[in-house]
Amino acid sequence: MRTELSIVAAPDRLPRIDAVGGLAGRHTGADTVHLIGTAATPLGGDELDVRVVVLPGARLVVRSVAATIALPSTTSPVSSARWHFEVGAEAELDFDPEPTIVAGGAHHHAVTTVVLGPGARLRLRERIQLGRSGEDGGGWRGDLIADVGELPLLRHRLELGAGTSADDRLSAARALDSELRYPDDRPAWSGGLDAVRLPLAAGGSLATRTSARLHAPVAVG
């Protein structure tokens, strides 16, 4: 299945939502949209293409009503998602959906691109868990590419689980909680070996926490 979702927010009106496939959006406030699954997706072979645009001066909050579960299909274990975010001048986006759960035997690849305009504000959170209760296996790869205008802000890739270079059945992480913030002038912070917040050279920060299982929200730094 191919899923396409577009959300465009403009000042002083409800965001425009266009959707085809297994993911839709619903207005739950003047500047808030919740993502809603309308079919079982992503299954192996599925492609998701999501575009979120916040026009200059607008504000948008995006949440989801439930976790996303990536499952293998009878023909392929691999599914993919492309997320594209554009935040215009003096606009704000707060994106914090429920976690993505990659079931045992499934592999999910997400590519996220972000373009920020002058004075834009962003909080972009992603949470990943490999395996449902009692499951092992599964794999995930995430690419995060962010720019402020034509200035590169971040190029980041992380892989979890089966078939990755860091895979270790004894102690390798199976969960990720990451958050990109812009702007953010807080200093670097470390919470041991598995949690860190790093300032970015062009402004903003990237915080990541890896573990065996996702934890309840904890303040970072």
pLDDT, tens only, 9-54: 999 999 999 999 999 999 999 999 999 999 999 999 999 999 999 9
State the pLDDT at residue 171: 65
∠ CA(140), CA(142), CA(147), 5° rounding? 175
State the pLDDT at residue 217: 57
Mean pLDDT, rounded, for 197-215: 93
Mean pLDDT, rounded, for 100-111: 95
Residue 175's CB: how many other CB atoms inside 10 A? Answer: 21
Shortest CA distance to 109 belongs to which of 78, 66, 138, 68? Answer: 78
Torsion angle, alpha carbons of 48, 175, 76, 3, to 10: -10
Q: In terms of C-beta density within 10 A (0-12 exposed, 13-18 middle, 19 or more buried), how is residue 21 classed?
A: middle
Backbone angles phi, psi at 99, to 5 degrees: -65, 160
* pLDDT exceeds cutoff 60 at 99: yes
Q: Which residue has the tokens 């606009």?
A: 91
Cβ pair 85, 114 in contact under 8 A: yes
* pLDDT exceeds cutoff 90 at 212: no
* pLDDT exceeds cutoff 80 at 219: no
State the pLDDT at residue 129: 94
How many whole angstroms separate alpha carbon 49 and alpha carbon 210? 26
Q: Which residue has the tokens 């079919």?
A: 39
Q: In terms of C-beta density within 10 A (0-12 exposed, 13-18 middle, 19 or more buried), how is residue 192 classed?
A: exposed
How many whole angstroms separate alpha carbon 221 and alpha carbon 213? 20
State the pLDDT at residue 157: 95
Return the bridge partners of 3, or none: 48
State the pLDDT at residue 170: 60
Mean pLDDT of the chain: 92
Residues listed for the chain: 221
Pick the range with the lowest mean pLDDT from 65-69, 123-127, 208-212: 208-212
Mean pLDDT, rounded, for 52-67: 97
Work out the percent of the chain whose per-residue pLDDT is above 90: 81
